[in-house]
A and B are shown apart, each in its own frame.
Chain A
Amino acid sequence: MQDRQRTPWLRPVVALAVTAAFFLPLYLVLANVFKPGEDISGHPASLPWPPTLDNLSQALSRPDRLFWNGLINSVTITLLSIVLLTVLSAMLGHYLCRSRSRTARITMLVLLAGLMIPPQVILVPVTDILQLTGMMATLQGIVAFNVGYYVPFGVFVFSGFIRTIPLELEESASLDGAGRWRVFWQIVFPLLRPATASVLIFLGVWIWNDFLNPLIILGPAGGTTVTVGVYRAIGEHQQNYGQVFGLMFLAALPVLIFYIALQKHFVKGLTGGAVKG
């Protein structure tokens, strides 16, 4: 499908116009982050010139430290969850892929069925289990839930890769006298790097962005994450859009930087299954 020679400018112009229309809502918020409060309602669409950092500093210096507390919690929860998830799901994926028993195969199916269970289906009893183990409204609680809930995704990504690693490699290492543990961590795991990258990237973004799970499991008592913090801030004062936008910008910034830096990995991880063959 070559462009018609008569109108070579048509496609880029249409593409740019469509993208601009699509991006408009984000532009409006982004521009208003750097505008003084009265301009947000007065001239919402104007360029933020001269830019002001008032909204950001307001969001950062809230007396309840909503952003800073949220940031500490979000970073802790996300890092702990993705490290644990990577280790546990790589090992579990390897175990299930290399076991030839019927039980392992059935276990794999039960695990992968977890990919389509919406969190709402299990959250009510999950809070009971967390209450029982004393982990309700704690960071351990949400991390433990994240690990259990997202382990199917990790296993799914890792087992896809593990199947491509020749068994001979592991066999020869084990003939050379390496134990199972060493074979896995020194031979197999380094080869899984692309899968590890996918798991870390996707789960990192999902867990950072999670709203319902931390809202319910941390509750009002257990503190807040940056994502839940944005929600709490709109509940309080619907009017002060400047500060809410500032807070939102700060909450989304880490993910955006991460995305811009690793754009290729995002797309590769996502589209791995989209192409036949």
Chain B
Amino acid sequence: MSLVKERAGIRTDAPPRTPPGTRRGALPRLWHFLGFGAPGLLVYACFVLAPIALSVGYSFTNANQFVPRTRFVGLDNYTRLLTDQEFLTALKVTTILTLIVVIVPNVLGLAVAVLLDRRGWFYNALRGVFFVPVVLSSVVVSVVWQAMLTDDGLVNTALRAMGVHSPPGWLSDPDIALYSVGFIISWQMLGFCAVVYLAGLQSVPQELHEAAAIDGAGPWLRFRKVTWPMLAPALTINTVMLLITGFKAYDHIQVLTGGGPGTGTTATLAFSVIQTGFTANRTGEASAMALLMLVIVAVVSSVALRFLQRREVDF
């Protein structure tokens, strides 16, 4: 949502005018900056910009808690990462997880929104239920699903009662665990998407539907040609939000699988950066990994944003 408005805001910036109380002079302007601008910027600089700059510095060294002398190693960390099996696996895991997290809540959220797009307390209450996981912390959500999905959890108990002899290890089978984690994050984000789509649906003027119906369009055609184009801004917000959610997913993985089962089957980039940086204390390598992750996040989300916003314009 943020990026969308930000761009719109910048385009529609008011024409330059003299702000109130502006006297020409460097001193009043300095005071204005020190009073209003500086405090917020200073904290941002200390805890976001400086850390990124430090990361760049670290990433060219072999900084490591267990190696006493830190020295400059040039691009070694980067070149090693690009051939490192663990890193490439993390890249693959991140891609799969992000794809699940972008697609599943978008599709199911739209379905739920269409289903609940009616007035009245009944539908309001149901909408409220779908939004509950969004306000819960991901740790709570993960523990809830852990109780459901562990090997002798509620789901498998139910499956055994129905006569399934060896139900799958939802979180313990290396081939399944990643999909379970993706499903759980999707479950948490579904309500977010549904609420955003509902707001979009309610902005579609009734006359458009009536006009299309008079022209003989059936429900599917009306959805495809009238509703769906009007939902373009909602799709943009949801997709960008979910992309970032998928990339930075950490809490669920830490609670549910700890990066396993096996070696790194659910360890995303975000997870590996923390593991390498804090558990293994390989600061240099973790910094290089973090910066690569930052570049990937920035490129993918701005390309997606650009593409989705272009779609919004032509209908």
Render B1-34 as a binary contact track against A, CB cut-off 8 A, 1 for contact.
1111110011011101111110000000000110
Q: What distance in Å separates the Cβ of B26 from its nearest Cβ neighbour in chain A?
A: 13
B36→A124 contact, CB < 8 A: no
Q: Which of B69-77, B171-179, B195-203, B259-267 contacts A (4 or more CB under 8 A)?
A: B195-203
A252→B136 contact, CB < 8 A: yes
Complex alpha-carbon distance, A245 and B3, angstroms? 37
Q: What distance in Å separates the Cβ of A19 from its nearest Cβ neighbour in chain B?
A: 5
In the complex, whether A117 has a CB less than 8 A from a CB of chain B is: yes
Q: Closest chain A residue to B222 by CB distance?
A: A1
What count of chain B residues pass the 8 Å CB interface test? 108
- A83-116 residues at the B interface, CB under 8 angstroms: 88-89, 91-92, 94-96, 98-100, 105, 107-116
A211→B2 contact, CB < 8 A: no
Known: A19-B126, A153-B2. A29 touches B147 (CB 8 A): yes
Render A166-188 as a binary contact track against B, CB cut-off 8 A, 1 for contact.
01001101110001110110000
Complex alpha-carbon distance, A29 and B130, angstroms? 16
Q: What distance in Å separates the Cβ of B57 from its nearest Cβ neighbour in chain A?
A: 9
Q: What distance in Å separates the Cβ of A211 from its nearest Cβ neighbour in chain B?
A: 4
A163→B2 contact, CB < 8 A: no
Known: A148-B43, A209-B138, A259-B135. A167 touches B157 (CB 8 A): no
Complex alpha-carbon distance, A15 and B273, angstroms? 42
Query: When the two chains form the complex, which single residue of A1, A19, A156, A183 contacts B129, counting CB atoms closer than 8 Å?
Result: A19
A99→B115 contact, CB < 8 A: no
B3→A116 contact, CB < 8 A: yes
Complex alpha-carbon distance, A99 and B20, angstroms? 10
A148→B33 contact, CB < 8 A: no
In the complex, whether B67 has a CB less than 8 A from a CB of chain A is: no
Q: Closest chain B residue to A1 by CB distance?
A: B219
A255→B136 contact, CB < 8 A: yes
In the complex, whether B123 has a CB less than 8 A from a CB of chain A is: yes
Known: A22-B190, A92-B41, A107-B41. A129 touches B32 (CB 8 A): no
- B169-215 residues at the A interface, CB under 8 angstroms: 187, 190, 192, 195-200, 202-203, 209
In the complex, whether A68 has a CB less than 8 A from a CB of chain B is: no
Known: A25-B148, A129-B51. A124 touches B58 (CB 8 A): yes
Q: What distance in Å separates the Cβ of B52 from its nearest Cβ neighbour in chain A?
A: 6
Q: Which residues of A contact B147 (CB under 8 A)?
A: 25, 28-29, 241, 245
A120→B135 contact, CB < 8 A: no
- B135-152 residues at the A interface, CB under 8 angstroms: 135-140, 143-148
A276→B203 contact, CB < 8 A: yes
Complex alpha-carbon distance, A122 and B54, angstroms? 9
B148→A28 contact, CB < 8 A: yes
Q: Total number of A-B contacts with CB less than 8 angstroms?
A: 306
Known: A91-B39, A95-B33, A100-B17. A274 touches B200 (CB 8 A): yes
Q: Which residues of A contact B18 (CB under 8 A)?
A: 100
Q: Which residues of A contact B32 (CB under 8 A)?
A: 95, 180
What count of chain A residues pass the 8 Å CB interface test? 107
| 5 A-B contacts (beta carbon < 8 Å) | A29-B147, A120-B274, A129-B47, A180-B36, A255-B135
A residues bordering B, Cβ < 8 Å? 1, 11-12, 14-16, 18-19, 22-23, 25-26, 28-29, 44-45, 88-89, 91-92, 94-96, 98-100, 105, 107-126, 128-129, 144-145, 147-149, 151-153, 155-156, 159-160, 163, 167, 170-171, 173-175, 179-181, 183-184, 205, 208-212, 216, 227-228, 230-231, 234, 241, 244-245, 248, 251-252, 255-256, 258-260, 263, 266-267, 270-277
Known contacts A15-B126, A274-B237, then 18 further A-B pairs from the complex at CB < 8 Å, ordered by chain A residue: A1-B219, A107-B41, A113-B298, A116-B297, A125-B58, A145-B47, A148-B48, A170-B19, A171-B20, A209-B139, A241-B147, A245-B147, A259-B132, A263-B131, A266-B135, A271-B199, A273-B233, A274-B196
B residues bordering A, Cβ < 8 Å? 1-6, 9-10, 12-14, 16-21, 32-33, 35-37, 39-41, 43-52, 54-55, 58, 112, 115-116, 118, 122-123, 126, 128-133, 135-140, 143-148, 154, 157, 187, 190, 192, 195-200, 202-203, 209, 219, 222-223, 230, 232-234, 237, 244, 247-248, 250-251, 254-255, 270, 273-274, 277-278, 283, 286-287, 290-291, 293-294, 297-298, 301, 312
